[in-house]
Amino acid sequence: MWITRETWQRVLQLSKRLLLPLLLLTAASQLYGGEEPALLIKSPAEIRGIDILAPNALVAYEGFYRYKEEEIRVIFTREPLLQSGEWLSLACGKLQLFKLPDEWERIFYYSNNRNISLLFVFNPDFDLWCDFINIFVERFSFLIGFSVYEVDVPFPAVLEPAAQ
């Protein structure tokens, strides 16, 4: 049986499409010592109004990550949020966060007091929330410096886990 040149070219094109993601994942696992990175599974999309806050018309961007088999919701706005007296102040590494009261989810707020306001929504049994927030804020704060337009929302595609 003879395989035509066109068939070989199609096979090579298909293998390149399949091989590149596999190589990237393998390289990432080797680079991070086998530790699973957090992956952006839904790119940031513009939303009007942040549903976990009191009724509002804030322009925000919402994205979703997968980390340690958990889905994490991240919301970014350039507007500072009015903090309620019910929000609990707490430290997470070098960051100052606020925990919003919610019995169904863990919701944390971070602001750099200039142009970054971030909300993080975790399942209540997810214990690595501080690791994720530290990683995200570090990378996001770096990348946003390269944003030219307001619609440029640089949610990192891959976040390296903290060294344990």
Query: What DSSP element (H or E) covers 9?
Result: helix 5-31
Weakly modelled stretches of the chain, pLDDT under 50: 18-20, 22-24, 163-164
Query: What DSSP element (H or E) covers 80?
Result: none
- pLDDT at residue 16, as a whole number: 53
Query: What DSSP element (H or E) covers 119?
Result: strand 117-122
- pLDDT at residue 93, as a whole number: 93
Which residues does 157 contact at the CB level (< 8 Å), separation at least 6?
Answer: 39, 40
- pLDDT at residue 20, as a whole number: 46
- pLDDT at residue 34, as a whole number: 57
Residue type, 90: L
- pLDDT at residue 22, as a whole number: 43
- pLDDT at residue 54, as a whole number: 87
Class of domain 33-159: alpha beta
Instruction: Give the strand pairing for 158-159 and 117-122.
Output: unpaired
**Residue 62 neighbours by CB distance under 10 Å:** 21
Domain boundary assignment for the chain: 1-31, 33-159
- pLDDT at residue 23, as a whole number: 42
- pLDDT at residue 82, as a whole number: 86
- pLDDT at residue 98, as a whole number: 95
* pTM score: 0.77
